[in-house]
Structure 1
Amino acid sequence: MSLTTRGWRAALRQVNRRTFSSSAVSQRHTLPTFEPSSNEDLDSVLDLARRRILIPAHLNKAQEQMVYREKFRARLSADAPEPVSSTVAGADVTLEHIDRQRDIPAQWQVFSDALRLADTPTDWENVGKLLEGFADAGVRMRGEWVQKFVREAAQKGALHVVLRALERAPRTNVRLRSRDVVSRVLWEVRGVAAENGWGEVETERAIRYAEKVVELMEREEHCGGSGKRVVKPGDLRTLPFVIATPLELNAVHVLRYKGGVDEDGVVEGYAKSLCNNLKHFGLQESTPTEESAPSDGAATTTTKSKSPNRYQNFAAAVEKLRRMVPVWHGLELARRVLQPQNRLPLEKVEVYRVLGEVRGEAEAAVEAMRANLKEGQKVENHADYQAWVQVRDEKE
């Protein structure tokens, strides 16, 4: 028996030795098992994620030495006489050599590819499993990743997967902890109704989604918790568009499908909440929002940022417009529903003043978009501008 053979067999025995210290991670977590997807490319991406990101994150010390050390490369190669199996995070896997410099893919690229390729319900179920696998592996779910997840899911009719991920925040690390993420989620929820002509079924679905998001924001894993029962300026739950989105959707439903009668007082309730919020906190466009620390516990650092470029200015203007649209439209529709019964939560003059202020902010955002477009581009072709014009020019 050669020294090399004795060496790898000794290493293998060490790899499979079940000690408390070396297998602690494996005992706490499990590796996701992906279902066959609708296309081979997505299967390849998910397989790559499992082999090169998820499994390596759960290796114990002995397994790491075998997988990463050059002297075991040949033994773990596909041409080896027999595969080397071991238990990793509760699953039996075949170990393979990994070159830390060349074999580990960029986490963002893998996630982005999975979102791009996902199409069917099964595909999106796999994306949900990938999110949980990333969280178990300690992969930080950055805000821009969450926004892309929400955008892609919404475009492909899989927004329910986003809601499920938010419900399982401790397992997925998909959290409502920044203004941009909350804005993106609620804008896409609103789009379920708005982009389908405010159809009855779609509007009712959007109402359920919006109210679920607002409910989730009260949970400790998002914005709430026992220590945050009293809100203050900057709390994400006080941002006008958060309250205005369910107001807008319910007001649309009342006007279109209930003869304009707010039978259950839902529109009045949301309108009172929004008006009271605006009275105490205003639009909060210049108020720093309270954004929680990264979900992975990493400390945040403050660095001197460069001046925003044209692309960043345009993106900021678009985000602002998305925040203003439901506030203006929600208040306007609430006025139509409640004013005939003298149930407006603000004096008539004050309502028009607030509507004028919000409209001014929206139009300022449009002008900022226009000023930062590339030569030859027109703001009129932008979907979010069109969404604003649709409600702005809506006739009673």
Structure 2
Amino acid sequence: MLRNSTLSAFRASDGVLESAAGRITRSITATHRRAFSYTARQNAGIAHFTPASTPELTKLLESIREKIILPSYIPPDQRRKIFSLKYEKKLQSDPITIEIDGEVIKFRYMNPFKEMPQTRRSVVSAVSQFTTDEDFANLRPLFEGIAYAKRKFGSDFYCKVLRTCGNKGKIYDVLDCARSVRRTGFKLDTSEKVNEALFHIQMKAFDSKWDEAETKRALRKAELVIELLQDEGHIPAKAEDRRMLDGELPLYRDPMTLLAPLHIAAGFVVNNGDSEDVGLMLEKATDYAKDVIRVWPEGKSLTAVQPEKAYEMDNKMKYLAEPNKFFALCTPLLHGLDMAIKVVEPELAKQLLSRRNQLTADLRAAKPDISWRGESAAEKFYGDVDTMITDLPEESQ
């Protein structure tokens, strides 16, 4: 079974070179060695990694490049030979050779069961070892490379990358990959990916103690996410994932999405009252508050805004059924409502307050089942969980 599934994986990647074939010039030498060369341009798709912070990480990145990414540049018939025991001796003396952007690369036999690294495990391991700016400079070429190699991953893989990078303060590096989705394959095409990204963008503003420049940057990034959600490059690849349910809001209009820029804009106003941009930020906060009110009916749980079936589907909102995840992701949104209530006009603040207290009730219901992530989010924004899940009186507006 393992042998069959592994070989199937290699066969599945046979179509990798079809789009690039027109850019490869082929020649066969007198010794029957196959030589291939790309037109001289750096953006041909080949991954180049900069030296990493540790020898172990450098070695891992080179392994990913040599064993996963580079073989995807070889035409399918030649690539199959690399993994065929039948050609082991021949390739030892006469390796398949290609030239890309002036770099000569030689391929010999690789045992697919012993020498080929598992792509998902290798990428997650590499990203988890990133610590320095130089390490994170390798993030985009890493995803460009695995996208070129046609490696496919589920939403949980990308969410893990978002959390790992976000926890290290590098969420903007991930957004750079998302902006280049056609080269990196890093799509923001599920609610969980979007809200993981927005969670860490909000944390950038909060952790800066609402520094004026950093908060403005965070708002630009949150608004970039909303723009990307309307880009066709971020439309789900599978037809069943693209299909909208009756009454379903697109992700760029989901209240959880809109609450993030509301939080950042309101946080700027509360903490940067002397800034020359406070008027513009108040206007933005007001506009986002109105948008939230329009799509989030009064008296309805935040987890009931979308159609009920969406909360049963893995590719839509089912992840919010996990109390700890729901609690953690909604904590900064609640904090944003608290701040917005302080700065918008009284009538709008009153409408936000009803949503705020509804969300508080939802979080109280989730409290018994939360663990470290939910608790730490509450402690960061409110000091403790109990303070956070207390209703605000009407006089607080």
Give the structure-2-normalised TM-score.
0.74
Between 1:57-66 and 1:173-182, the stretch displaced more is 57-66
Report if aligned partners of 2:198, 2:260 keep a CA contact under 8 Å in 1: yes
Structure 1 residue aligned with 2:348: 345
1:222 to 234, 237, 253: 234
Structure 2 residue aligned with 1:296: none
Between 1:118-127 and 1:183-192, the stretch displaced more is 118-127
Structure 2 residue aligned with 1:269: 287
Change (3 A) 1:116 1:136: same
Please tell me whether residue 243 in structure 1 is matched to residue 236 in structure 2: no
Structure with a larger share of its residues in helix: 2
Cα distance, 1:381 vs structure 2:
8.6
Change (3 A) 1:360 1:60: same
Structure 2 residue aligned with 1:15: 34
Report if aligned partners of 2:95, 2:106 keep a CA contact under 8 Å in 1: yes
Cα distance, 1:332 vs structure 2:
2.5
Structure 1 residue aligned with 2:53: 38
Structure 2 residue aligned with 1:357: 358
Cα distance, 1:246 vs structure 2:
0.7
How do residues 176-255 of structure 1 correspond to structure 2 at under 5 angstroms? 176-223=188-235, 232-255=247-270
Partner of 1:92, secondary structure, is strand
Report if aligned partners of 2:88, 2:109 keep a CA contact under 8 Å in 1: yes
1:69 to 55, 71, 84: 84
CA distance in 1, matches of 2:384, 2:273: 20
Cα distance, 1:288 vs structure 2:
5.2
Change (3 A) 1:63 1:131: same
Change (3 A) 1:30 1:205: closer
Partner of 1:207, secondary structure, is helix
Partner of 2:89, secondary structure, is coil
Cα distance, 1:203 vs structure 2:
2.3
CA distance in 2, matches of 1:290, 1:137: 35
Change (3 A) 1:162 1:283: farther
Partner of 2:51, secondary structure, is coil
Partner of 1:74, secondary structure, is helix
Structure 1 residue aligned with 2:375: 382
Partner of 1:86, secondary structure, is strand
Structure 1 residue aligned with 2:176: 164
CA distance in 2, matches of 1:219, 1:76: 45
Cα distance, 1:363 vs structure 2:
1.6
Letter in 1 for 2:365: A
CA distance in 2, matches of 1:92, 1:289: 56
How do residues 72-83 of structure 1 correspond to structure 2 at under 5 angstroms? 72-77=87-92
Report if aligned partners of 1:234, 1:290 keep a CA contact under 8 Å in 2: no
Change (3 A) 1:223 1:253: farther
Please tell me whether residue 137 in structure 1 is matched to residue 162 in structure 2: no
Structure 2 residue aligned with 1:113: 125
Partner of 1:13, secondary structure, is coil
Partner of 1:321, secondary structure, is helix
Q: CA offsets per residue over residues 273-296 of structure 1, 9 Å max, x none?
A: 1111113995551435999xxxxx
Give the structure-1-normalised TM-score.
0.74
Partner of 1:263, secondary structure, is helix
RMSD: 3.9
CA distance in 1, matches of 2:219, 2:384: 18
Between 1:160-169 and 1:189-198, the stretch displaced more is 189-198
Say how many residue pairs are matched: 345
Change (3 A) 1:280 1:236: farther
> Where does the alignment leave 5 or more consecutive residues of structure 1 unmatched?
1-8, 292-301, 374-378
Structure 1 residue aligned with 2:13: none
Cα distance, 1:29 vs structure 2:
5.0
